Amino acid sequence: DTEVTQTPKHLVMGMTNKKSLKCEQHMGHRAMYWYKQKAKKPPELMFVYSYEKLSINESVPSRFSPECPNSSLLNLHLHALQPEDSALYLCASSQRGGATGELFFGEGSRLTVL
Amino acid sequence: GQQLNQSPQSMFIQEGEDVSMNCTSSSIFNTWLWYKQDPGEGPVLLIALYKAGELTSNGRLTAQFGITRKDSFLNISASIPSDVGIYFCASNSGGSNYKLTFGKGTLLTVNP
């Protein structure tokens, strides 16, 4: 079982909806990540939080808004999404960033935008 | 930007066969990671490598960090049906860099 928990596992939303994806880890990791993954493609980095501060935003559109309420939780707020945003959204954590590199992924939230 | 060339793109093998896949790059990396992803699930870390020349095993899996620090391979011995999935290599250039560079993946199909 993964130690990074994501909810919901599946989400269907319309283009005018506001929804959130949630991620939780209890491994004491200080870096948390959001990735987007299209079918049969590698994960693409969206955001990195390090010690609860946003350290990387990979030029993600503002309709995706990340939030890190504390060191164990990471949210991704979704608003006015487009059908092309449909994908598997993966949360990951690592003990810290940099050379250690070992990311632990959650099972993902499958998002469908109608 | 840094790129990882992962090959082969896909493999179709019979149960019991050995499998080999690799990643190469023109850049030097400090870390090589191998992940496996089942359909609809998140990637699971299989093996992590941190030193040039390092050879590490995890059950039937063996991976090596190339001497030049520009490549890595993953071998699976005596494949079984549950080995089916997409295998990704990933690498990190170290320092304060949080970004992992991923290969495009190898889709493995095992025929029972």
pLDDT per position as a tens digit, A1-11: 569 999 999 99
- Say whether A3 sits in a helix, a strand or coil: coil
CA closest to A107 among chain B residues: B42
CB-CB contact of B64 with B52 (8 Å): no
Largest separation between any pair of C-alpha atoms in chain A: 41
- Contact of B109 with chain A, judged by CB distance below 8 Å, is answered with no
Determine the average pLDDT of the residues in A87-105: 82
- Give residue B96's pLDDT: 57
The string of pLDDT tens digits covering residues B35-71 is 999 988 999 999 999 899 999 999 999 999 999 999 9
| Helix, strand, coil in percent for chain A, rounding step 5 | 5, 55, 40
Instruction: Tell me the nearest-neighbour CA distance from B31 into chain A, angstroms.
Output: 7
- Please say whether the beta carbons of B112 and B16 come within 8 A: no
Closest CA to B31 of B86, B74, B69, B77: B69
Query: Are B105 and A90 inside 8 Å of each other by CB?
Result: no
CB B74 within 8 A of CB B22: yes
- B39 CB near a chain A CB, below 8 Å? no
Chain A touched by B84 (CB under 8 Å): no
Alpha carbon distance B10, B7 (integer Å):
8
Confidence (pLDDT) at A2: 60
CA distances from A41 to A25, A55, B71, B103 (A): 25, 25, 20, 9
- Closest partner CB to A48 (pick from B42, B88, B98): B98
Give the model's confidence band at A100: pLDDT under 50 very low, under 70 low, under 90 confident, else very high.
low
Average pLDDT of chain A is: 92
In this structure, how many other beta carbons lie within 10 angstroms of the beta carbon of residue A54? 12
At A97 the pLDDT is 58
Beta carbons of B98 and A55 less than 8 Å apart: yes
* Chain A residue with minimum CA distance to B103: A42
> Across residues A27-50, what is the average pLDDT?
93
For chain B, the 3-state helix, strand and coil shares in percent, each to the nearest 5, are 5, 50, 45
Q: Is residue A11 a contact partner of residue A87, using CB atoms and an 8 Å limit?
A: no
- Asked if pLDDT for residue A33 goes beyond 50, the answer is yes
CA distance A103 to A74: 15
Return the structure tokens found at A13. 């939303």
pLDDT at A99 over 50: no
Rg (CA), chain B: 13
pLDDT digits (tens, 9 = 90+) for B64-95: 999 999 999 999 999 999 999 999 999 986 65
User: Residue B1 has what pLDDT?
Assistant: 60
**Residue B97 pLDDT greater than 90, yes or no:** no
Distance between alpha carbon A85 and the CA centroid of its chain, in Å?
Answer: 13
User: Is A108–B107 a contact, with Cβ atoms under 8 angstroms apart?
Assistant: no
The pLDDT value given to residue B92: 81
* Per-residue pLDDT, B100: 86
Least confident of B10-24, B48-62, B91-105: B91-105
Contact list in B for residue A108 (CB cut-off 8 A) is 40-42
Question: Which of A77-81, B10-14, B76-80, B89-93 comes out lowest in average pLDDT?
Answer: B89-93
B86 has a chain A CB within 8 A of its CB: yes
Q: Do B103 and A42 touch (CB under 8 A)?
A: yes
Q: Which residues of B touch A98 (CB under 8 A)?
A: 92, 94-98
Q: Which of B45, B75, B80, B41 is nearest to B61 (CA)?
A: B75
